[in-house]
Amino acid sequence: MFIQTESTPNPATLKFLPGQTVLETGTADFTTAEAAASSPLAKRVFAVGNVSGVFFGTDFVTVTKDDATDWDHIKPALLGAIMEHFQSGDAVMEGESGSPAGHAAHDGPDGDIVDQIKELLDTRVRPAVAQDGGDITFHGFDKGVVYLHMQGACAGCPSSTLTLKMGIENLLRHYIPEVLEVRPVAA
């Protein structure tokens, strides 16, 4: 088995491509070792140490390291843990397999606007950020402000503000005049 790695715009995050499906649908985001209890793969990655986050996409695993740790010190152990997991035949997730859409539900007014926002995120934004090892999902819409949740490589990325303001906000405002601003939300 050969696992490729790719750098991401976030220097604290590295994308691992095992060459096979990680999650059939949706994504999974683990910000602590305790949160990884439902994932044998995430538990193995956190067990390497100096890991502050693990994110799964359909064909990749994104790992965020502690700031004080150098990639040269933990990358070989992470490659070993990921390879060992896939060779073991263990499931990536126990029980449910991640969030299919990833978006928060929206009840109330502005349902049509929210549907348009989610459609644009799914077709234009999420595929692009997945290439960088992350995901951006809808969290809420209130008085013209769209709230988005950033995961994986997008969470804590130095260029995430630029991505939100210059990229996503401009895109949404262009297609949906009711959108005035885009803001990130904490996990």
The DSSP code sequence of 88-151 is HT--SSSSS-SBSS-PPP--STTHHHHHHHHHHIIIIIHHHHHHTTEEEEEEEEETTEEEEEEE
Tokens, residue 75? 């990358």
| Cα 104 from Cα 162, distance rounded (Å) | 23
Residues 6+ apart with CB under 8 A from 19: 1, 2, 3, 4
Q: Under a CB-based contact definition with an 8 Å cutoff, are residues 18 and 62 in contact?
A: no
Residue 78 φ/ψ, nearest 5 degrees: -65, -45
What pLDDT, on a 0 to 100 scale, did the predictor assign at position 13?
94
Strand order in the sheet with 4-7: 4-7, 13-17, 61-65, 51-56, 28-30
* pTM for this model (two decimals): 0.79
**pLDDT averaged over consecutive 10-residue blocks of the chain (187 residues)?**
91 94 90 93 96 94 92 95 94 70 75 91 86 87 91 78 84 94 83
3-class DSSP state of 154: coil
